[in-house]
Amino acid sequence: MRNFSSYGPIDRELHYYVPRQQLIDDAFQQLLGKNPEKGGHYITVWAPRQTGKTWIMQEVLSTIEQGIQFDVVFLSLQFLYEENDVDIVAQLFARELIKKLNLENLSIDSSKDFHRLFERETLMKPLILILDEFDALEPKVIARLVAVFRLR
């Protein structure tokens, strides 16, 4: 029997929900762009807490994972929200990403090495990286990470 859930991403089998297929399709299209071969797109999903942002992006991720063209990683950064040392954040972020992408031969020891994660020589396929709670990071940490993303 289904029930109502008011916290966290919903489970379609356990919870009542309103289908949001058009919103999922729109987010998918914005993320990939009109011509995915020409490079990535940055999108920001912003809304008040508990309005379904994480669920929508998990649904988009699920749609993308059905293909083989991209590596897709969903990473929650909530565990880093109190950390203000850029090098520590870069190391922990990198460790999680390395684990999810099975890149055992790569080591990131500082924020100066962080860019190596996103080099063509490192990645086997284009990467779609979905970062949950990114805006909870310290502003100087966000600035350093975004600078790396913009280079790619």
Q: Which tens digits make up the pLDDT trace of 135-144?
A: 889 999 999 9
Average pLDDT over residues 88-102: 92
Residue 65: inside a domain, yes or no? yes
Residue 15: inside a domain, yes or no? no
Domain count, the chain: 1
Residue 2: inside a domain, yes or no? no
Query: Pick from 45, 55, 102, 133: which is nearest to 145 by CA?
Result: 133
Q: Which tens digits make up the pLDDT trace of 51-86?
A: 888 888 888 888 888 877 888 898 999 999 889 999
Residues whose CB is less than 8 angstroms from the CB of residue 17 and which lie 6 or more positions away in sequence, other chains included: 10
**Cβ pair 117, 108 in contact under 8 A:** yes
- Distance from C-alpha of 124 to C-alpha of 145, rounded to nearest angstrom: 21
From the number of C-beta atoms within 10 Å of its C-beta (0-12, 13-18, 19+), residue 68 rates as exposed
The DSSP call for residue 15 is B
Q: By residue range, what is the domain housing residue 85?
A: 21-151
pTM: 0.76
Residue 83: inside a domain, yes or no? yes
CATH of residue 83: 3.40.50.300
